[in-house]
């Protein structure tokens, strides 16, 4: 089910009286999170709510997990960034994630739109 389908179902449930508005509000708070395996949830609407896009906290994640998260986020965002990335992790990520750039001084890697 897409987020649109989930939202429609939730609104119809409120309209029919099957769910309270307070319970619907609690469900809406988590509607925009998209799971990545068993290790991460992406906040798909963070930029809409806060003005800042979701960023991957790289510390404690494997290069495979970071690559998987980046690839999922890339489908929805033109810019994807991971923080707390050391050069060794970047060297493992680079062949897995097309267009990945590394910024050593900041310890981040990012995918940005191609010019």
User: Where exactly are the structural domains of the chain?
Assistant: 51-111
CA distance 16 to 54: 34
3-class state of residue 4 by DSSP? helix
- Residue in 58, 56, 62, 63 with CA at minimum distance from that of residue 94: 63
Name all contacts of 9-13 with Cβ < 8 Å and 24+ positions apart: none
Model pLDDT, residue 30: 66
The yes-or-no verdict on residue 110 having pLDDT over 90 is yes
Give the CA distances from residue 53 to residues 11, 74, 79, in Å, rounded to whole numbers and listed in that order: 27, 12, 8
Q: What percent of the chain has pLDDT over 90?
A: 57
The yes-or-no verdict on residue 1 having pLDDT over 60 is no
The helix (run of H) or strand (run of E) holding residue 101 is strand 100-103
The yes-or-no verdict on residue 39 having pLDDT over 60 is yes
């Amino acid at each position: 089910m897409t987020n649109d389908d989930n939202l429609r179902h939730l609104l119809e449930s409120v309209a029919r009286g099957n769910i309270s508005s307070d319970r619907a509000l609690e469900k809406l708070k988590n509607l925009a999170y998209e799971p990545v395996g068993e290790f991460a949830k992406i906040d798909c609407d963070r930029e809409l709510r806060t003005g800042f896009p979701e960023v991957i906290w790289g510390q404690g994640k494997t290069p495979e997990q970071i690559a998987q998260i980046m690839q999922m986020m890339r489908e929805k965002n033109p810019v994807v960034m991971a923080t707390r990335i050391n050069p060794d992790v970047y060297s493992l990520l680079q062949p897995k994630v097309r267009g990945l750039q590394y910024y050593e001084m900041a310890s981040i890697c990012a995918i940005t739109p191609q010019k």
